[in-house]
């Protein structure tokens, strides 16, 4: 790290962290907790930016993608969720396979490289339904990368088919599943989960499904839902579990820090954390997760402005062009109500912030450097 940056830090603890980053040494969980407690946001930005440069130079990644959200009907009723509906709700949906294939057909001329499929845990949709969906999508978009189904969805559909995780994931892989997203992790602490998502698959299940997927050659992302009732200690414990699994499998592509949005859910009264807390979480995540190569600044959830600032706090990925195909965060009060960015808009956005735009595929191979 440049000498002027060390002088700028002027703090024994932060200088120690700077030295560790410069030497490529891992910080401890206790040090990560102290970083969360740090009030020097500028110093955190310097430290996180140095770490991101070590890993990803000046590159900021994006891809051309669209989402399919098969249903918002869900057997779970997580207290933080604004997306879930019952079949009786007027604004619920449950797309047939043919309806989802029509969504895919609209993408035929757009050079899309990824379809991202997540939704509610529908009581009647099992593994065979989703395997059939994947097979049919590949007929329409044979070269598209299918990133689909959170560990929570996988847990239900595989159990419903009376298979174990390995058997179920192998069937999905054979059907054409390429990777899995990071949703459903929330916060791993069991007491917190009991309060906000007690019906949902527990932390060991989430970690176990991702570990099994990695063993089968299915890469994945990870996530953390922050800014609700958790503490800094819960956050760092969550990140440590991800770091430990990554040490073993080396198959997480990215972490997506997801800010809790408080619109239209049963814990709305707790409010939302401010932008400073969001940026701090990005910085600590980048510094602590030395073995997960990418930190995603999900612009659909954060809004473009904050997502851009997060690139100066350790993030190096903007997700994708989206094509107005997701409602999960808009239903929770996200800034971007109709999320779409063209490739040119994404390139200009990244370049104007001082970074080098890179179009990637779903596992971060560089396709075009602009």
Write the CATH number for 261: 3.20.20.70
Quote the distance between the C-alpha of residue 294 and its chain's center: 10
Q: The domain containing residue 27 runs over which residues?
A: 3-42
Full strand arrangement of the beta sheet holding 317-320:
317-320, 59-63, 356-360, 366-369
The residue assigned the tokens 């402005």 is: 305
Is there a single domain that holds both residue 88 and residue 22? no
Is there a single domain that holds both residue 162 and residue 121? yes
**How many domains would you assign to the chain?**
2
Is there a single domain that holds both residue 7 and residue 110? no
The answer as to whether 249 is a domain residue is yes
Is there a single domain that holds both residue 7 and residue 142? no
- Packed helices 232-249 and 275-288: angle between N→C axes, nearest 10 degrees: 30
Is there a single domain that holds both residue 24 and residue 125? no
The answer as to whether 133 is a domain residue is yes
Is there a single domain that holds both residue 281 and residue 335? yes
The answer as to whether 51 is a domain residue is no
Is there a single domain that holds both residue 166 and residue 210? yes
- Nearest-Å Rg of the Cα atoms of the chain is 20
The answer as to whether 108 is a domain residue is yes
For 299, other C-beta atoms within 10 Å of its C-beta total: 25
The answer as to whether 282 is a domain residue is yes
For CA atoms 160, 162, 164, 170, give the dihedral sign: negative
Is there a single domain that holds both residue 20 and residue 167? no
Angle at 149 between CA 192 and CA 226, to 5 degrees: 30
Is there a single domain that holds both residue 175 and residue 150? yes
Is there a single domain that holds both residue 90 and residue 138? yes
Is there a single domain that holds both residue 22 and residue 65? no
Predicted confidence pLDDT, tens digits, the chain (370 residues): 555 455 555 788 999 999 999 999 999 999 999 999 999 999 999 999 999 999 999 999 999 999 999 999 999 998 888 888 999 999 999 999 999 999 999 999 989 999 999 999 999 999 999 999 999 999 999 999 999 999 999 999 999 999 999 999 999 999 999 999 999 999 999 999 999 999 899 999 999 999 999 999 999 999 999 999 999 999 999 999 999 999 999 999 999 999 998 877 778 888 899 999 999 999 999 999 999 999 999 998 899 999 999 999 999 999 998 864 444 444 444 454 566 788 999 999 999 999 999 999 999 999 999 9
Backbone phi, psi, residue 257, to 5°: -75, 120
The answer as to whether 83 is a domain residue is yes
The answer as to whether 49 is a domain residue is no
What is the structure's pLDDT at 104?
A: 96
Is there a single domain that holds both residue 183 and residue 222? yes
Query: Nearest Cα to 127, choosing from 85, 177, 171?
Result: 171
The answer as to whether 61 is a domain residue is yes
């Amino acid at each position: 790290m440049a000498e002027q940056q060390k002088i700028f830090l002027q703090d024994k603890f932060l200088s120690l962290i700077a030295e560790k980053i410069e030497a490529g040494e891992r910080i401890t969980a206790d040090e990560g907790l102290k970083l969360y407690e740090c009030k020097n946001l500028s110093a955190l930005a310097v430290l996180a930016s140095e770490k991101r440069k070590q890993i990803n130079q000046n590159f900021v990644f994006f891809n051309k993608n669209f989402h399919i959200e098969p249903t918002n009907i869900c057997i779970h009723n997580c207290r933080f969720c604004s997306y879930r509906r019952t079949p009786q709700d007027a604004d619920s949906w449950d797309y047939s396979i043919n309806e989802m294939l029509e969504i895919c057909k609209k993408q035929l001329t757009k050079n899309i490289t990824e379809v991202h499929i997540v939704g509610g845990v529908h009581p009647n949709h099992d593994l065979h339904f989703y395997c059939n969906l994947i097979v049919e999508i590949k007929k329409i978009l044979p070269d598209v990368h299918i990133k689909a189904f959170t560990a929570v969805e996988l847990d239900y559909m595989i159990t419903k088919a009376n298979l174990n995780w390995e058997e179920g994931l192998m069937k999905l892989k054979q059907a054409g599943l390429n990777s899995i997203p990071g949703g459903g992790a929330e916060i791993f602490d069991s007491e917190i989960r009991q309060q906000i998502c007690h019906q949902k698959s527990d932390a060991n299940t989430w970690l176990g499904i991702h570990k099994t997927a990695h063993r089968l050659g299915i890469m994945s992302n990870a996530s953390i839902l922050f800014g609700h009732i958790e503490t800094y200690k819960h956050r760092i414990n969550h990140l440590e579990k991800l770091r430990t699994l990554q040490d073993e499998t080396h198959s997480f592509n990215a972490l997506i820090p997801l800010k809790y949005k408080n619109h239209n859910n049963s814990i709305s009264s707790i409010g939302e954390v401010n932008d400073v807390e969001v940026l701090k979480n990005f910085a600590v995540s980048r510094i602590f997760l030395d073995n997960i190569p990418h930190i995603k600044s999900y612009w659909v959830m954060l809004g473009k402005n904050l997502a851009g600032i997060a690139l100066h706090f350790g993030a190096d990925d903007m997700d994708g062009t989206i094509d107005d195909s997701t409602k999960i965060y808009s239903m929770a009060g996200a800034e971007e109500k109709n999320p779409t960015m063209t490739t040119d808009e994404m390139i200009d956005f990244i370049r104007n912030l001082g970074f080098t735009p890179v179009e990637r595929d779903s596992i971060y191979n560089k396709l075009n450097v602009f």
